[in-house]
Amino acid sequence: MLLFLLGILVIAAGLAVSIALHEVGHLVPAKLFGVRVTQYMIGFGPTVFSRTRGETEYGLKAIPLGGYIRMIGMYPPHKGEPEGTIREDSTGLLQQITELSEEAKQYESSQYGPEDAHRTFVALPVPKKLVVMLGGPLMNLFISVVLMVVLVSGIGLPAVTPTVQSVSECVVPADAPADVSCEGQEPAPALAAGIRPGDTLRVIDGQEITRWSDVTTAVRAAQDRTVEVVVERGGETLQLEATMIVDARPVLDEDGAVVLDADGNLVTEQVGFLGVSGTPDLVPQSPAEVPEMAWSAFTQTGKLVITLPVRLWEVAQAAFGSAERDPNGPLGVVGVSRLAGEVASADEPGFELREKAGTMISMLASLNMALFVFNLIPLLPLDGGHVAGALLEGARRMLARLRGRPDPGPVDMSRMLPLTNAVAIVFILMTVLLLYADIVKPITLFP
- pTM of this structure: 0.85
Distance of CA 232 to the CA centre of its chain: 39
pLDDT band at 425 (very low <50, low <70, confident <90, very high): very high
Greatest Cα pair distance, the chain, in angstroms, is 101
Query: What is the per-residue pLDDT for 329?
Result: 86
Residue range 319-329: average pLDDT?
87
Cα 121–122–126 angle (5° rounding)? Answer: 95
Name the least confident of 186-200, 250-264, 356-370, 406-420.
Answer: 250-264
Query: What is the per-residue pLDDT for 82?
Result: 45
**pLDDT, tens digit, 9 for 90 and up, residues 192-244:** 999 999 999 999 999 999 988 899 889 988 888 899 999 999 989 999 999 98
pLDDT over threshold 70, residue 175: no
Residue range 149-155: average pLDDT?
95
* Neighbour count for residue 415 (Cβ, 10 Å): 16
Amino acid at 179: D
pLDDT over threshold 50, residue 84: no
Which candidate in 23, 102, 314, 342 is catalytic?
23
pLDDT averaged over every residue in the chain: 88
Contacts with 268 (C-beta within 8 Å, 6 or more apart), sequence order: 174, 248, 249, 250, 251
CB 103 within 8 A of CB 64: no
CB 374 within 8 A of CB 427: no
Amino acid at 42: I
Q: Phi/psi at 226 (nearest 5 deg)?
A: -90, 120
Contacts 24+ apart (CB under 8 A), 25-32: 25/135, 25/136, 25/137, 25/138, 25/139, 25/140, 26/69, 26/132, 26/133, 26/135, 26/136, 26/383, 27/69, 28/135, 29/128, 29/131, 29/132, 29/135, 30/69, 30/71, 30/121, 30/132
Residue range 290-310: average pLDDT?
94
Is 103 assigned a catalytic role?
Answer: no
